[in-house]
Amino acid sequence: MTDAVNTSVESSVKRIASLLQDSIDVKQRLLADKAMLSRIADVAQSCVEALQAKNKLLLAGNGGSASDAQHIAAELVGRFELERAGLPAMALTTARRGDVERCPRSSRVSNNWVARELLLLGIGIDTKSL
C-alpha cells in the first residue's frame, strides 16, 4: 500500500510540476509578444478612460473566463489595493438575456449604474468563444 501511495504522490508531483511549467511557458511567450502586450495595454487604457468618464464597465466571459470577469468586477466594485469608492463594474455569467432580470440590489453597485455609458470587455482564451 505504501508503494502505491508513494507512486501516486510522485505522479501527482510530476503532474503539478508540468502544469506549473506550462503556465510559466505561456507567460514567457506573452512577455516576448510585444504586439500582444500593446493590445493588453490598449484595453487597460480604454477601461481606465471609461471609468474616469463615469462610464460603466461590463465584463463577460465563458467558463473560467467568466470567473475572471467576476473577480475583476469584484475588485473594481470593492477595494483593490486601496480604500476608495466603488467603481461601476459588473460581470455577466450568461449571454442569455432572459437570465438577467435586474442589476444586483447592492447599493454600492446600483448607485453606480444610473444614466451612464457602458464599455463591454469580453474575456476569453479563444476569440471564437466571445
- The string of pLDDT tens digits covering residues 50-80 is 999 999 999 988 888 889 999 999 999 998 8
Quick check: is 107 in a domain? yes
Helix %, strand %, coil % for the chain, to 5? Answer: 60, 10, 30
3-state secondary structure of 82: coil
What pLDDT sits at residue 66?
A: 86
Quick check: is 71 in a domain? yes
In which residue are the cell numbers 469584484 written? 74
Task: Write phi, then psi, for 123 (nearest 5 degrees).
Answer: -115, 130
Quick check: is 9 in a domain? no
Angle between helices 2-32 and 34-52 (to 10 degrees): 80
Quick check: is 92 in a domain? yes
Full domain range(s) for residue 101: 50-129
DSSP string, 62-95: STHHHHHHHHHHHHHHS-SSS--PPP-EEEES-S
Q: Into how many domains does the chain fold?
A: 1
Q: Is there a contact between 65 and 127 (Cβ–Cβ < 8 Å)?
A: no
Quick check: is 21 in a domain? no
Q: Mean pLDDT, to the nearest integer, of 100-110? A: 42
Quick check: is 11 in a domain? no
- Any residues with CB less than 8 A from the CB of 73 and at least 6 apart, and which? 57, 59, 89, 90, 91
Instruction: Inform me whether the pLDDT recorded for 109 exceeds 90.
Output: no
What pLDDT sits at residue 4?
A: 67
**One-letter amino acid of 31:** L
Cell numbers for 16, please give them. Answer: 503539478
Quick check: is 117 in a domain? yes
Quick check: is 118 in a domain? yes
Using alpha carbons only, how large is the chain's radius of gyration in Å? 20
User: pLDDT: is 13 or 93 the higher one?
Assistant: 13
**One-letter amino acid of 71:** H
